[in-house]
Structure 1
Amino acid sequence: MPDQLAELLAGARVAVSVQSKKPIQDSSGTDITGMAMKVSGPDGDLLEYRQIGDWTYLRAGVKSLEKATGSHLPTGDDLPPNANELKQVLGGGWVKMPADSFTKNAVGKDVAPSVNPGVDARQDKVIKGLQQLVSREVQLKDTGFRNGADHITATASFRTLLTGLVDELRPLAGDLPQGAELPTSQDLKGAPDKKVTADFAIKNGVLREVSVDLAPLADITQDGTFALVLRLGKGNQATTVPDQATQIDPDSLAQQLLQGLAPQPGSGPLL
């Protein structure tokens, strides 16, 4: 992994919030009133996403992305005159599009959901298989009370757990989105055969934090930690509609991105 990418990941933060008319655990899709996600790096926000009502809002932190990647994104002058949607995105302001545009295919037609009575049965079988996998392969240990919370650790072999997880998911492989594939058994043989430990912090009976040290998976000899931390809590503010969001056509944006990624005669790719 390049040092620049490693530094970006080490300093990255992802904040996700969901609002619902009901408690989250009892909510269905129709109960969700707002969702938001923000990806931030050491130099500022990289990407922000909000969905409120019938609209999806996006904003790219262009300057932060350039610092993080060490390269310059194209400006409006670098893009073709008809790349209006891409110019809006790379301008750094908010853009919006219909929320249901994400359920459409590349030609703009609605993708009909498949109805397969066997899917639910396979999902139930997969869930039971995963429960058995965790019970069989994961070692749990009570590590006591500290920092205001009870702590429990879960330790397992990364390769064994990953291989078992993928094997349990294979019955659902046919239901994955087009182009998405599960790794093969040969692929999984390259996974590190090392033990990884997750630390669960529980306060007043509620899970508050999960921390996993990924350093054992790295092929290095130096001592150190590389913690992936998930914190759970109540959101401190409601998801709001951004000011001055420009409406764009998602199909046109997709085409412009494909054109921008394709090599141009006599030059490199735009993105």
Structure 2
Amino acid sequence: MPDQVAELLAGARISLSVQSNKPLQDSADTDITGMAMKVSGPDGDLLEYRQVGDWAYLRAGVKSLEKAAGGPLPSADQLPPDATALKEILGGGWVKMPADSLAKDAPGQQPGNPATEARKKQAIKGLHDLLAREVQLKDNGSNNGADHITATTSFRTLLTGLVDELRPLAGDLPHGAELPTGPDLKDAPDKPVTADFTIKNGALSEVSVDLAALTNSTKGDKFALRLRIGKGDQATAPGQAAQIDPSALTQQLLGGLAPQPVPGADAL
């Protein structure tokens, strides 16, 4: 992994808030009324997404993305004239699109699709059984008013099992997204990994995993991945947002970021 990517991941933070008409464990896609997600790096926000009612909103932190990429992103005059959606994104402002348009090209992802919901429930049951079978739990007592439980398992065994249980959902993944293959999983570290669960007042408040245990480092390095659970922020619609066509944006992302010919340059 390049140092630049490692530094970005080491300083990354993802926040996610979800609002629903029902308890989340009982919610289907059609019950979700709001969502807010923000991905931040060491140099600021990289990407922000919100879903409020029937609209989805997106904003890119262009300056932070350029620092993370190690160079400037294409400017408006470097993009094709018809790449209007991509130009709006790279302008750094908010854009919006109908929330249901994000699943138009994937019939299995239509909100409330019975076949999709059935596959999800089956996958959840399979994951539950996998964790019960492969994970060893240990009560580590209390500290600072919180109970601590550790869960230890073989990383490769758990990852392989997770992917196997998710394979029935492969057809519902977004275009271009693929699950790891068997050969990919064989390269995963075959080492034990331990997660620390923090429970306060009977509710899970934090999960922490030291990913450095999966490396070959002998220096005692730590690379903590932490998930904190608490009260989320209310998802609100931005004051101004330019409407774009998500299908056009996908096409422009696939072709618009390719190097553009320099005007007046001779062809080789």
1:1-271 mapped onto 2 (5 Å cutoff): 1-105=1-105, 111=107, 120=118, 126-173=123-170, 179-235=176-232, 237-265=233-261
Normalised TM-score (structure 2): 0.86
Range with bigger deviation, 136-145 or 192-201: 136-145
Shift, 1:125, TM fit: 5.5
Alpha-carbon separation, structure 1, partners of 2:69 and 2:180: 28
Task: Evaluate the alpha carbon distance shift between residue 51 and residue 176 of structure 1 in structure 2; reply closer, same or farther with a 3 A threshold.
Answer: closer
The gaps in structure 2 that reach 5 residues or longer are 264-268
Shift, 1:183, TM fit: 2.9
The gaps in structure 1 that reach 5 residues or longer are none
Secondary structure in structure 1 of the residue aligned to 2:8: helix
Task: Evaluate the alpha carbon distance shift between residue 127 and residue 39 of structure 1 in structure 2; reply closer, same or farther with a 3 A threshold.
Answer: closer
Higher relative contact order structure (alpha carbons within 8 Å, sequence separation ≥ 6): 2
* CA deviation profile, 1:186-220 (whole Å, cap 9, x unmatched): 32221111110000001111111111110011232
Alpha-carbon separation, structure 2, partners of 1:260 and 1:150: 51
Alpha-carbon separation, structure 1, partners of 2:155 and 2:82: 48
Aligned-pair identity (%): 70
**Which residue in the other structure is 2:266 paired with?**
none
Normalised TM-score (structure 1): 0.85
Alpha-carbon separation, structure 2, partners of 1:256 and 1:56: 19
- The letter for the 2-side match of 1:76 is A
In the alignment of these two chains, the number of paired residues is: 261
- The letter for the 2-side match of 1:183 is P
- The letter for the 1-side match of 2:185 is L
Shift, 1:2, TM fit: 0.5
Secondary structure in structure 1 of the residue aligned to 2:65: helix
Task: Evaluate the alpha carbon distance shift between residue 55 and residue 227 of structure 1 in structure 2; reply closer, same or farther with a 3 A threshold.
Answer: same
Alpha-carbon separation, structure 2, partners of 1:171 and 1:253: 28
Task: Evaluate the alpha carbon distance shift between residue 172 and residue 29 of structure 1 in structure 2; reply closer, same or farther with a 3 A threshold.
Answer: closer
- The letter for the 2-side match of 1:204 is N
Shift, 1:91, TM fit: 0.7
Q: How large is the RMSD of aligned CA atoms in angstroms?
A: 2.6
Task: Evaluate the alpha carbon distance shift between residue 21 and residue 178 of structure 1 in structure 2; reply closer, same or farther with a 3 A threshold.
Answer: closer
